[in-house]
Amino acid sequence: MTTNQMAIEVEGLQKSFGQVHALRGLDLHVPVGQVTGFLGPNGSGKTTTIRILLGLLRADGGRASLLGGDPWSDAVRLHKDIAYVPGDVSLWPNLTGGEAIDILVRLSGPLDPKRKQAMLERFELDPTKKARTYSKGNRQKVALVAALASNAQLLLLDEPTSGLDPLMEAAFTESIREVKAQGRSVLLSSHIFAEVEKLADEVAIIREGVTVETGTMAQLRHLTRTQVTVVLDGGVDGIAALPGVHDLATTDGHITFAVDEAELPGVLAAVAARNPRSIVANPPSLEELFLRHYGDELAALGAGSEK
């Protein structure tokens, strides 16, 4: 059955808070054993989606299925196999970090002390300190350790590395790769493009409560343009007029332009005919993909300059 291959399946999800339409038909799919990146500007509905998936909010319309169950009515049963890390972790000030981890892990199953210890060491967290003395990064580590020390089949991570230093981000990356290698699934909501690019098999980009783009990194790159920088002995004449070339500019002899993926062979042939001394071609980064779907303004500016 296909349901067995999807850890999360969301279609046409809707949610309003009073007059505010937070979600207006959102789609999201997380295949089992894969990491799906979840990108969107602030306020686009990422956290609302995750809270619906956790059964904390009830959707107004659409369909959401989590590990084959209903996130609202089967919440408790499903949570046995789910671990969640919020972007802003709040803890009980007079309990220690270690106590908080135990409470969270034990709610979903038995505690594996070795695993907890391993994660504490990996994230260099002192579990004997009271939570009130933790910095934001250390509170974040508590939630990460609690999530990673469990056996959850699906990890819901809402900007999980906010407040972590680069070393800890590396520890996080390592942990997620292990999770994936064990065949577990991850929904990774993040603003750090490099992190998502490194980890995610598929990406969903949402905006104002609607999914605007989904697919693997390779699929998404096809939809956009390669950035090319060349130095030409043969002169720039005629390049700008080639089909698929956009935003051509010349600075200090360096010619830069963007090429539609489909037109790349023709454009490269034309460049080769003009005796290139150097050529650098970059595939579009996730950030560029993201910005393209973010900014009406950016898109409008780009369209204007082409004409």
Residues that bind other proteins (CB under 8 A): 1-3, 6, 9, 17-19, 29, 51, 54-65, 68-70, 72-77, 79-80, 82-84, 86, 88-95, 99, 103-104, 106-109, 132, 143, 156
**Pick from 193, 224, 218: nearest CA to 38:** 193
Nearer to other proteins among residue 156 and residue 176 (C-beta)? 156
Query: Nearest distance from residue 61's CB to other proteins, in Å?
Result: 6
- What's the min distance (Å) between Cβ of 248 and other proteins? 39
Nearer to other proteins, 2 or 251 (CB): 2
CB of 137 to other proteins, least distance (A): 16
Specify the residue, 49 or 226, whose C-beta has the smaller distance to other proteins: 49
Least distance in Å: CB of 182 to other proteins? 20
Q: What SS3 string covers the chain?
A: CHHHHEEEEEEEEEEEECCEEEEEEEEEEEECCCEEEEECCCCCCHHHHHHHHCCCCCCCEEEEEECCECCCCCHHHHHCCEEEECCCCCCCCCCEHHHHHHHHHHHHCCCCHHHHHHHHHHCCCCCCCEHHHCCHHHHHHHHHHHHHCCCCCEEEEECCCCCCCHHHHHHHHHHHHHHHHCCCEEEEECCCHHHHHHHCCEEEEEECCEEEEEEEHHHHHHCCEEEEEEEECCCCCCCCCCCCEEEEEEECCEEEEEEEHHHHHHHHHHHHCCCEEEEEEECCCHHHHHHHHHCHHHHHHHHHHHC
CB of 87 to other proteins, least distance (A): 10
For other proteins, the closer of residues 57 and 206 by Cβ is 57
CB nearer to other proteins: pick between 82 and 289: 82
CB of 223 to other proteins, least distance (A): 19
The least distance separating other proteins from the CB of residue 8, rounded to whole angstroms, comes to: 11
- Beta carbon nearer to other proteins, 42 or 135: 135
Q: Which residues contact 32 (CB under 8 A, 6 or more apart)?
A: 4, 5, 6, 7, 183, 185
- Is the CB of 108 or the CB of 227 nearer to other proteins? 108
